[in-house]
Amino acid sequence: MAREPVKHGHHREGIRRPARLVVATEHHFVRVGERVYTDLAFGHDYWKKYLEVFDEVHVLARVGCAETTRDDRLRADGPGVYFIPVPDYRGPWQLLKMWPGVFRAAMKAVRFGDCFLLRSGIICTVLWLWLVLLGRPYAREVPGETGKATLAFVGDRHPLAMPIIAGILEQLCAIQLRGAFCASYVSRSVRRRYPTSDPSGEFVFSDVQLTEDLMTTPRTIEDFRHTPMRILSVGRLEREKGHRFLIDAADQLRRDHPDGWHIRIVGPGSQLEPLRQQVRSLRLENYVEVLGPVKYGQELFGHYDWADLFVLPSLTEGMPRALIEAMARGLPAIGSRTGGIVELLSAPQLVTPGRGDLLKQAIAKRIGDTEALARFSQENYNKAVREYGMEELRRRERAFWKAMLDGPHGKKST
């Protein structure tokens, strides 16, 4: 919960830094008693890194209520990390019904925040309107391509309206970026798409955390000499992640390769039951498991270790954390040719998004090809450790935080 404003900030290197950072995000959280929990991402460890610069972090986000929580959920609040709860609306009709509560929560955040970091979504936009109205500076974080993500999420359900809505959201994102005094991007391609008015305040880095307990070593040819070949996909089970095309690929793969492979799909999301129904309708129960959410840490890492090949069939992406984690765990991969994925994987590991037939062909090529699997394992591991290791990413993060700390009139670092 929000607390009374801190009256005196701290000093570091002679600079008075803001006491409170407000971060606006569209992610769903759940409150059980006095604690706030999250599915898979955005636990307390994620938010507490900001405490290296700020006294407190206040997360402006949708927070529902429950009497109990699941074992796979992570604690999100904690020392230094608090929540400004927004009504937990789901869809446009609930948003209209709960609009006054969303409006009041954003106004409350502006009242006592010292620095503001906006992500994508409705909550971000409402807070942005308040900040512009009151002339308050803000920073913007860009997790992906707004228009493509909107179309991938619900475009096939509203084929006439969604291109118009996606175009509006795309332009809105561009306007917000032009007004931001600094911004961070998850990939170079996203940075090119949404520039600010001052390139010196633009920073590119992923929020993946390749800790020592996550990273292992590349796989060898001997590691792949077994059957069946085990295929893993990890991520939010939402429409834009394209898991339905992986299941379509499995249906086609069964016809040409009835043995020698098995697929696991892991993650939380609204498409959990639809994907399970798709598996049942295609009678793929012996080939495909849709496991749903698992707890981050050794339980998730165990799935990486089980696998021989990681597949990410997304229709749109910013910079996928799960893929970087899999690469650091020594996994070869197949990913869609979109967004930040093309900055991670070499050309032979890329396929056209939304094409189950091409995905099936790519997987079929890897079955039994132990030399290629070992080669891509080494290649991916080297890429992850070299470009996404903790030391390098934290350096880029700190540069961004320093730009937020200095404000629009301070000296910025790139």
Percent of the chain with pLDDT over 90: 62
Domains of the chain: 11-208+391-406 (3.40.50), 221-388 (3.40.50.2000)
Residues whose CB is less than 8 angstroms from the CB of residue 164 and which lie 6 or more positions away in sequence, other chains included: none
The pLDDT of 172-187, averaged and rounded, is 92
The band of 8, judged by pLDDT with boundaries at 50, 70 and 90, is very low
Q: Is the pTM of this model over 0.85?
A: no
* Residues 357, 370 contacting (CB under 8 angstroms): no
Q: Which residues of 382-395 are buried (b: 16+ CB within 10 A; e: fewer)?
A: ebbbeebeeeebee
In this predicted structure, the answer to whether residue 145 has a pLDDT above a threshold of 90 is: no
The pLDDT of 214-224, averaged and rounded, is 95
In this predicted structure, the answer to whether residue 2 has a pLDDT above a threshold of 50 is: no
Q: What is the pLDDT of residue 163?
A: 65
Supply the angle between the helices 243-256 and 356-366 in degrees, to the nearest 10: 60
Residues whose CB is less than 8 angstroms from the CB of residue 137 and which lie 6 or more positions away in sequence, other chains included: 116, 131, 181, 407, 408
303: enclosing H helix or E strand: helix 298-306
Residues whose CB is less than 8 angstroms from the CB of residue 249 and which lie 6 or more positions away in sequence, other chains included: 313, 356, 357, 359, 360, 363
* Residues 347, 194 contacting (CB under 8 angstroms): no
In this predicted structure, the answer to whether residue 165 has a pLDDT above a threshold of 80 is: no
Nearest CA-CA partner of 282 in 314, 255, 310: 255
Phi-psi region of 121 (alpha: psi -120 to 50; beta: other; left: phi over 0): left
Q: Which residues of 167-198 are buried (b: 16+ CB within 10 A; e: fewer)?
A: eebbeebeebbeebbbbbbbbebbbebbebee
In this predicted structure, the answer to whether residue 1 has a pLDDT above a threshold of 80 is: no
Distances (CA, A) of 49 to 1, 43, 65: 19, 11, 26
- For the stretch 90-109, pLDDT in tens is 888 898 999 999 999 999 99
SS3 label, residue 123: helix
In this predicted structure, the answer to whether residue 120 has a pLDDT above a threshold of 70 is: yes
53-67, 76-90, 366-380, 392-406: segment of lowest average pLDDT: 392-406
The distance between the two most distant Cα atoms of the chain, rounded to a whole number of Å, is 69
Alpha carbons 344 and 358: distance in angstroms, whole number: 19
